[in-house]
Amino acid sequence: MPKVSACMPIYNTAPTHLREAIKSVLSQTFKDFEFLIINSSPDNKELDKIVAEFKDPRIIYKKGKKTLEISEAFNILIDMARGSYLAICEHDDISLPMRFEKQVAYLDANPNVGVVSAQIRWFPKKEEKGEWQTRNPTDNFNIKVKLMKDCALQHPVAMIRKSVLMENDIRYEFRFNPAVDHRLWIRLIDFTEFHNIDEVLLKYRWFGGNASVLQRQRLQDAVGEVRIYAQNKYPALYLEYLARYSSRQRVWLFGFIPLFKIIRRPGKILIKLFDRITVIKIK
């Protein structure tokens, strides 16, 4: 049996992006993996041809019987997977060559950790603006604190210990599309520990076709629901988040009119006029 199952749903992917994503997986320095690809847009015949260009025997290709949501696609891949570890691979990102090797080594050495992720680098648009790399916390407690508000584990570069999902009957949940990753991490808080390798192991393609861009309102609604659940279930972690990541100060006019509100967050200061209008933003 392979050690790792690389899991990649594809959906109307741009041909150039898909070829680059597949090549990056097949070019890993760690070789003991199967590469599971599911076509979530079965009417798109071009994707069949692109996958067929790669003659690597590790590729196992499946077509969905219907158009699949991301949660459905990943759940099918989990059921197909024979590996002990699930490497999440998205259809337009580029995994750096040492990604699998470093993540497997970490999970092998730390059986208490069920999810290991890493930092990512955005390209090309955010890279051009200077917003080029994540700086998520690395240790378990700080990751869980940040999960109360933000997705502190980057899903496109995550590797998951399959047994943690199977033993606790946890899967991706359709109701939370497209914020299924954040929901998954929250569900796993009680059952395992998390870690982020503190180096960039994936280049994340940021462009107008990202699901997070195309489904912005749906994403915001789903993230809001995940946050409410997390904050109610883990009040101690949420209080720690508030104490650590957010502080607010008001400047009053005549002692009773709220003139300015100053909001301090990690790496950012916002000054709002009359509590509503942002007049200064400092990064």
**What are 146-155's pLDDT values in tens digits?**
999 889 999 9
SS3 273: strand
137-146, 173-182, 209-218: the lowest-pLDDT one? 209-218
CB 93: neighbour CB atoms within 10 A?
A: 23
pLDDT computed for residue 178 by the predictor: 83
70-79, 88-97, 260-269: the lowest-pLDDT one? 260-269
The pTM of the full predicted model, rounded to 2 decimals, is: 0.84
- Judging by DSSP bridges, how do beta strands 113-124 and 159-161 pair with one another? antiparallel
In percent, the amount of the chain with pLDDT more than 70 equals 81
Q: Which of 167, 178, 251, 134 is nearest to 9 (CA)?
A: 178
CA distance 67 to 65: 7
DSSP lists the bridge partners of residue 119 as: 200
DSSP lists the bridge partners of residue 197 as: 118
CA distance 162 to 114: 8
CB 91: neighbour CB atoms within 10 A?
A: 22
Tell me: the pLDDT tens digits for 123-148?
876 656 655 788 899 999 999 999 99
